[in-house]
Amino acid sequence: MKAITLNSFGGPDAFELRDVPRPAPGAGQVLVRVHATSINPLDYQVRRGDYRDHVPLPAITGHDVSGVVEEVGAGVTAFVPGDEVWYTPRIFDGPGSYAEYHVADESIVGKKPASLSHLEAASLTLVGGTAWEALAVRAQLRAGESILIHGGAGGVGHVAIQVAKAIGARVFTTARSEQFEFVRGLGADVVIDYRNEDHVEVVMRETAGEGVDVIFDTIGGDTLSRAPDVLAQLGRVVTIVDTAQPQNLVQAWGKNASYHFVFTRQNRGKLDELGALVERGQLRPHVGATYSLADIPLAHARLESRDSGLRGKIAIAVVPPAHADARQPRA
Amino acid sequence: MKAITLNSFGGPDAFELRDVPRPAPGAGQVLVRVHATSINPLDYQVRRGDYRDHVPLPAITGHDVSGVVEEVGAGVTAFVPGDEVWYTPRIFDGPGSYAEYHVADESIVGKKPASLSHLEAASLTLVGGTAWEALAVRAQLRAGESILIHGGAGGVGHVAIQVAKAIGARVFTTARSEQFEFVRGLGADVVIDYRNEDHVEVVMRETAGEGVDVIFDTIGGDTLSRAPDVLAQLGRVVTIVDTAQPQNLVQAWGKNASYHFVFTRQNRGKLDELGALVERGQLRPHVGATYSLADIPLAHARLESRDSGLRGKIAIAVVPPAHADARQPRA
């Protein structure tokens, strides 16, 4: 089968399109024909070597699968060949999704929502699981609360806006002015042009000095340092980004704040929750661009460039959608 | 009435015993004859000026009351004169408890558990409320989990051990060797001599490399920096101490950790929860020393000295216990 392999840590040219043996499912596993995958910041962090101790080379990387079950191993009960499925492969534990076939334990695999194309489904597994874990599980965002989402036009951010609205929260988000229409369309109530406005001033004015109940940080650095300035008493901060910059937390103490650090974890339960939101029409991933398996290096370069024209996710059509998938992504 | 007033920020000699007017209860308030109060680290932090912007001078400070309702204001429904009550006065909002009488909104006042002396009850309101908030409300410690309590022989720590055991957790605590018998008697399962042992090594050995589910930090500084080294995946850290030392949180991220910062808040609900534990025999504050109202400066100096002979709390007998209170503290 074709696969994109990572042969050394470095830039996008560290990837190579190769023929490799097709894997076979063991007991409790499914073999999936990968129709689509997608690109996340985690993907280029892995590629450049941020997690080199956890990634033996050469490696097939990639963290999203949408596809069709081709074959099942002994003892598999939840799936049969032909089932459409979606999932995030185990992180740092076996091959990833940049390949024509992938093997996974059935316990981490979910049934793909029928209303999503493979490109859309593959654009949602990792970012959707992360947003759900951050907002619903860790911060326990509730109806009637307010949330500030840093980076609402991004891969995780654009899903987080929709999840927060589905929960019933009032959503503040930072974005660039050219992304305003996009994030408003997703349901954001107050949009802050972070390049020309101070987000602390805007939030404190709009909340009559109370601050927000929850902050979801997909950006990092100063956004985390300034969190206590914009947080209500007993507020919660959830961050999914590297927090190596030392933080003075004395203001967090005065606010009785909670900080939740979320590194990716995956399970079928989260996929089912996301699927239910999709089927109720409350969540739809936005595919901002589509590349082929061979063009994954270009897709990486595009995401890393922080292209302000990009909305939502970059999807990878492993099976060209004209053949496998009648639905077209909303580009 | 007699009261201890703070006339300037500084050492214990900044206090003065004075005659001041007895306060009168307004609508919804109760006037309480204070039988006992107690000393907490918060008390000397306030005295030395750590919160000077919140404490206009001269001030009556103090954060624990156990006493008897003397008079009720208009509209008070929960109390009548003669009721034994306990509570923490509002922090940074009106006079504190170092006085013969105190006025409080009935909403923050609780019925004192009958089985506690006034000295014991006054030793529990602030530290008990803090331990309950930290373990039960914020960290949501559950039966079968493990917890590391830094400083188990202290005012908050010795209550936290008992609360954690009542919840059904396995308790690790740090203490000095001369405090071992005391903390074991409170229920601690594993006691760590932090001056001669590395707490990370002990906990990781005793948990087979898993780490603890919850850390409760009453010490601060390095204990917070090292928290991720001793924390299980999805573990929670609760700290009640000043966190001004900058923290690198990248390890917390890898652990999917939550950090809860707890600054004192008070309400009647927490007092009722504590009272229930007391009545079930699962919680009893330890009064390690007792001073008179006039000797509050000495009591402050003793607590600040970190006297390793001290166990639990220092109580203040505002009404001498021989007259008001037949029970003797367990000194």
Cβ atoms of residues B79 and B85 within 8 Å: yes
CATH of B2-124+285-324, one of 3.30.720.210, 3.90.180.10, 3.30.565.10, 3.30.1510.10: 3.90.180.10
Residues of B in contact with A244 (CB under 8 A): 248-250
pLDDT in the model for residue A330: 44
pLDDT in the model for residue B263: 87
Q: Is the pLDDT of residue A98 over 90?
A: yes
pLDDT in the model for residue A266: 62
pLDDT digit of tens for each residue in chain B (331 aa)? 999 999 999 999 999 999 999 999 999 999 999 999 999 999 999 999 999 999 999 999 999 999 999 999 999 999 999 999 999 999 999 999 999 999 999 999 999 999 999 999 999 999 999 999 999 999 999 999 999 999 999 999 999 999 999 999 999 999 999 999 999 999 999 999 999 999 999 999 999 999 999 999 999 878 888 999 999 999 999 999 876 677 777 788 889 999 999 987 666 778 999 999 999 999 999 999 999 999 999 999 999 998 878 899 999 999 987 654 444 444 4
- B263/A254 Cβ within 8 A: yes
- Per residue in A129-150, pLDDT tens? 999 999 999 999 999 999 999 9
CB of A259 within 8 Å of any CB in chain B? yes
Evaluate the CA torsion angle A105, A111, A113, A118 in order and state its sign. Answer: positive
Cβ neighbour number for residue B227 with a 10 Å cutoff: 27
Rounded-to-10 torsion of CA A53, A56, A59, A65: -60
Residue pointed to by tokens 């003075």 = A248
pLDDT in the model for residue B221: 78
* Domain map (residue ranges) of chain B: 2-124+285-324, 127-261
CB of A248 within 8 Å of any CB in chain B? yes
CB of A257 within 8 Å of any CB in chain B? yes
Cβ atoms of residues B1 and B99 within 8 Å: yes
Q: Is the pLDDT of residue A252 over 90?
A: no
- B260/A258 Cβ within 8 A: yes
Q: How many angstroms separate the CA atoms of A73 and A28, rounded?
A: 6
Q: How many angstroms separate the CA atoms of B156 and B216, rounded?
A: 10
pLDDT in the model for residue A329: 46
**Given its phi and psi angles, is residue A140 left (phi above 0), alpha (psi -120 to 50 degrees) or beta?**
left
DSSP state of A197: S
Which residue intervals of chain A are DSSP H helices?
41-48, 118-122, 125-132, 155-167, 180-185, 199-206, 222-225, 250-254, 268-279, 296-304, 321-324
Q: How many angstroms separate the CA atoms of A188 and A303, rounded?
A: 23
Q: How many angstroms separate the CA atoms of A53 and B199, rounded?
A: 27
CB of B1 within 8 Å of any CB in chain A? no
- Would you call A27 helix, strand, or coil by DSSP? coil
Residues of A in contact with B231 (CB under 8 A): none
Q: Is the pLDDT of residue A217 over 60?
A: yes
Cβ atoms of residues B60 and B90 within 8 Å: no
Q: How many angstroms separate the CA atoms of A107 and A272, rounded?
A: 12
- B263 beta partners: none
Rounded to the nearest angstrom, the minimum Cα separation between B114 and chain A is 32
Which residue intervals of chain B are DSSP H helices?
41-48, 118-122, 125-132, 155-167, 180-185, 199-206, 222-225, 250-254, 268-279, 296-304, 321-324
Token pair listed for A273: 């929750």
Token pair listed for B284: 């009893």
- A265/B256 Cβ within 8 A: yes
What superfamily would CATH give domain B127-261?
NAD(P)-binding Rossmann-like Domain (3.40.50.720)
Cβ atoms of residues A196 and A171 within 8 Å: no
DSSP state of A99: B
- A249/B243 Cβ within 8 A: yes
Closest CB from B242, B250, B254 relative to A253: B242
Kindly tell me the number of DSSP H helices and DSSP E strands found in chain B: 11, 15
Give the mean model confidence (pLDDT) for residues A299-315: 91
Evaluate the CA torsion angle B182, B230, B132, B94 in order and state its sign. Answer: positive
For chain B, how are helix, strand and coil distributed in percent, rounded to 5? Answer: 30, 25, 40
